[in-house]
Copies of this chain bind each other. A is one copy, B any other.
């Protein structure tokens, strides 16, 4: 099992991601291909115990930056780390890849080099959202805008497979993110998607509203990528602002830092609980290979966990299941 790791495209130094990748090697029999500036990679590797043939390096001379336009950047920089990593998967030299970079570039490179699973119209970013009770998979988190009802159904099929076979949930509860619980609520897309979702043979539990997302009563939430992207970024922003406000209040209330000191552990724990690091990144489901999209500020732990998630996906042969279920269910939905 080989996973390629783009160590160049994140906001953190490559050394941080290399450390995370080496931890994954220590914890399992995964083989890692570090993709990026080989000078920097080798000089970091020298500082660690030799991992034998579990670690190899593939050089790439370019990096796609966070603010670059994905399609243009992938065209202009064929030797960018994310392009090289995805090509390793396309050429079967790796079973999957992880990139912490420009999300759009990771999607574009995957579509360009690895292509889609047969029957899947559009791949989707699937994010594990931490909730009051555990985790819920939300997709699409931003790979697509202006999705069709059929796209939404395919997202649901892929999410169902992921929760069943990677997370181990029996009969995952699948819900549609909407602006009312009743079946006649919503916009044109959600009304049509609801009707289609009802016809598919999985555990569709109906609509949920915004205030239900973090309660954790369902396992899979599907929505268009425009909505999913706003949900995720809004949550990050609101979480940050709330933490700041509560800290300030605690400091102010006790005219000293004592209260903040006391609460610090609590904040850290909640922050960890709400962080995306547990799964290390978001799988791009529907790609005929395995691609994990890390957060821009992916650290060592997220890199390690992203690699473990990729390994699980490949071992479960998730794409075969997605292909079969898409074929079977989309016939129901025709």
Contacts and interface: CB of A to CB of B under 8 A. Distances in A.
Interface size class of A (residues with CB under 8 A): 35 or more
Interface string A225-254: 111011111111111111011100110111
Interface in A124-151: 131-132, 142, 145-146
Contact of A234 (B145, B211, B244, B245): B211
A213 interface: yes
A324 interface: no
A254 B264 CA distance: 11
Number of identical protomers: 2
A329 to B, nearest CB: 26
Contacts of A267: 246, 249
A230 B179 contact: yes
Sort A-B residue pairs by CB-CB distance and give the 3 closest, nearest first.
Answer: A210-B233, A211-B237, A210-B234
Interface of A: 69, 131-132, 142, 145-146, 177, 179, 182, 184, 186-188, 190, 209-215, 224-227, 229-242, 244-246, 249-250, 252-254, 259, 262-263, 265-267, 269-270, 273-274
18 contacts: A132-B244, A142-B179, A145-B179, A145-B188, A210-B233, A211-B236, A212-B237, A214-B241, A215-B237, A227-B230, A230-B231, A231-B234, A235-B238, A238-B239, A242-B274, A245-B270, A246-B263, A253-B265
